[in-house]
Structure 1
Amino acid sequence: MTEPITQPAALSRFDIRVLPKVSLHDHLDGGLRPATIVELAAAAGHTLPSTDPVALGEWFRESANSGSLVRYLETFDHTIAVMQTSEGLTRVAREFVEDLVEDGVVYAEIRWAPEQHLRAGLSLDEAVEAVQAGLEAGVAGAAENGQLIQVGQLITAMRHGDRGLEIAELAVRHRDRGAVGFDIAGAEDGFPPSRFTDAFTYLAEQMFPVTVHAGEAAGVESIVDALVHGRALRLGHGVRIAEDIEVDFEDEDAPGAEEDTAVGMVTLGEVAAWVRDRGIPLELCPSSNLQTGAVESFGPDLESHPFDLLYQTGFLVTVNTDNRLMSGVSLTDEFELLVQTFDYDLDDVLELTMNAANAAFLPLEERAVLAEYITEGFNRVRG
């Protein structure tokens, strides 16, 4: 039970940055520093669109703004290319944590697909160990500076590959050495979770938690597949669950209707009701959703994004960045956008943060400690 904040503080960007935050959906290969990409590419002999870090960062953002998930995913060719050695993976993971600490993140689950990082001869286990070394170095460095952060790996299998069970076994092997969960990612449409039924069955037998990318490039049927065959405890994105919600707005000219108000009657479909009523967390990534076209049926901008509809309707929504390099955002930026767009206050930011803390793949006792730490941090801002 969190202590209520009765006098919300003014929400400036600085205030949001120093608030303790939780990041559940953040791709390792989508959060590199442009300068690091340039250095690692030179060492690997990989050709980049630009060797100027500023121009390269702009190229990533412009390429990701195509409105196509397929085009968005193509930008990863360059980041993955420089993450093929133990040294490269360790450096990227360490800097990833450093950037999260700078953004005020105190708990993070970092997802990545080891099968994409074997070109230079690493084994799957060596790749996972290299990333873990970097994460631990980042955590230790933060502690030396008096800053606390806890991180875990979400070991991911690629949807278009055929290594689901192998990657699931890899994740379970490392469950006591940094791995906290399993995911499938990549091209969603045409590659349903049912392709990996054996992997998901194995994970269930091992009592190992699963989040599944669903409801981004494909609709409600993909979410159903993630819940039924993937046995997902969380939905990666899941934003298109809103397609199973009907909102009928009151006729403004009807007797009794208030001027300048829009009152909607909300009806949940069977799938939406299941997800909401059972508190299945949604890992929403607002900026990324706009870039990939995941929410184009709702409108062209953040104002039309169904984030607030889902929040106000009682879904367990969380705020995430997806890929900080491609989207050009931090978690602070995402919260700031939501605050400005939907007029959220500090209580809303706390509730969204607590949603993420409670959805973390941590033991109950550790989630309680995290929740208490977050509440204390918010109360310090309140003064």
Structure 2
Amino acid sequence: MLHLPEVVHRLFQLSTNPAENQLLRSGFYYEQCLYYLSAYGTHLALVSFYMRHNCVTEALTYLINKDCPEEVFVEGVLQPSLERGRLGVLQGIMEKLDPGLDSCVCYLIASCQFLQRRGFYHCLYQLQQFMMDHVRAAMTCIRFFAHGAASYVQLGAGLSSFFLPQTLAQRWLVKAKEHLKTYLQEQQGRGAGRKRSSVNSFRKTMSSSDVSRHMNTIELQLEVTRFLHRCETAAVSKSASTSPPSTKPSASLPTLFGGTPMKVEVACKVMLGGKNIEEGFGIAYRVIQDFQLDAPAVYVRAGQRLIRQRQFASVRQLLKCVGESGSATKSDCDALLLSCVAAADKAPAKELESLVLEIKSSENKVM
């Protein structure tokens, strides 16, 4: 701290050089502000003063030494760093001052919570990578995958990402898989990551079996994306001359990362998306098996859609695929047919009779 006699001494020794005088006066006022803020100001006021003068190291040192609340870090350090696009610089200084990040864990946790609340997911992802929180980083990548997508045409073409318009959406899934793979390696003792005791305790943990299951889901979603992109692109090309496709973003584009109803929708979408039922049934059946979905309910839902679209031949194809799947019973096939007949509204009598004749149980037949 600059004491009054020294201040007076420096003022009397001001140079005749205006630039040098300005520098001396700046130092003088800086020290005076520090003195009064330290004596009478709040933690936030002093930290904000440091940040305004680009003294990030001093601000962090003060925060750590004084054990300031997380709110002071978020408002006084994190937000100014974000506004100036200097989150990476902040991370570097934090690691230099506290290589193990043991003293900064509470600030990192508060930062992640703040970024998630504000929807700053790219900054959140950057911070998760810095903390080597691979599981949460993978979840963030999955969030990026279908954000803002209106259809699988966009997902496959790489036009769906609101954040990185020129990047293929599938790359986010590849990154997610890489994070999970790295996490598995670290769990098995083969990772070369930095040792951070406190940060490690904060990092999300997951069993090896759960990680493998998530990686399988990512692989299956990539296959679904490629298939539906090809199918929807072909459909759009056929109808382009009559009605241009809608590009309005949808918040509910079905993916395998949603709940059970969304997974059922994906299975139906794949089953009905190909040139014929056989083309997509294999992938749809894998979705049903991998997520232990109610297979008869999925078949019934798909069949009713076909009936409403008057695709009676496709209903028979669906029945054939279900019967050959090896897991469906005669009762399941009958339930599919009965639901289709019940959903048929003003369908041709010949088509209805053809479906009724496919019913195996005589008790279920309706003449």
Higher helix share: 2
> Structures share a fold, TM > 0.5?
no
Higher relative contact order, structure no. (Cα contacts within 8 Å, ≥ 6 residues apart): 1
TM-score by length of 1: 0.25
TM-score by length of 2: 0.26
